[in-house]
Amino acid sequence: MQDFMLIYKGGDPEWMQNTSQEEMAVSMERWGQWLAALEAKEQLTSGGSPLEYSGKRVAQTGVVTDIAAVEFKELVSGYSIIKAENWDEAIAIAKDCPVFAHSGIEIEVRAIAVCPNSTS
């Protein structure tokens, strides 16, 4: 099995502030069920966490800019790390993610590179 990162992009940056406790509970239940199913199949490396929409970008030159000005659809809103046999399985897992209950979301699926051990 290989590790893949699911990178959640887009969504409503004010969802947490504008969501009722009941809606939040339903959402958290969906996430809990999805993560538990992955864990039962030994396909969950890390459930990850939601991220705030604002942040800073640090360039190699040392210049720091605010990333909140970027279009919301491009902002990373969270992540999870899963295990899958191949790309097809990783994509199938992503397609079943409860994040799609919200509008304006897409998931970027990235294979996590396996670096050879360094002996130096």
pLDDT digits (tens, 9 = 90+) for 17-51: 888 999 999 999 999 999 999 999 999 999 998 88
Identify the pLDDT of residue 104: 84
Give the mean pLDDT of the chain: 88
Contact between residue 4 and residue 112 where contact means Cβ atoms under 8 Å apart: yes
Identify the pLDDT of residue 72: 60
The two structure tokens encoding residue 31:
């996430």
- Domain map (residue ranges) of the chain: 2-111
- pLDDT tens track for 85-105: 999 999 999 999 999 988 888
Q: Which stretches of the chain are assigned E, i.e. beta strand?
A: 2-10, 44-46, 56-58, 64-66, 76-84, 105-111
Q: Which CATH code, of 3.40.190.150, 3.30.70.1060, 3.40.190.10, 3.30.830.10, is assigned to 2-111?
A: 3.30.70.1060
Percent of the chain with pLDDT over 70: 92
The CA–CA distances, whole Å, from 119 to 50, 113, 116 equal 36, 18, 9
pLDDT over 90 at 114, yes or no: no
Percent of the chain with pLDDT over 90: 60
Identify the pLDDT of residue 120: 46
Mean pLDDT of 41-66: 89
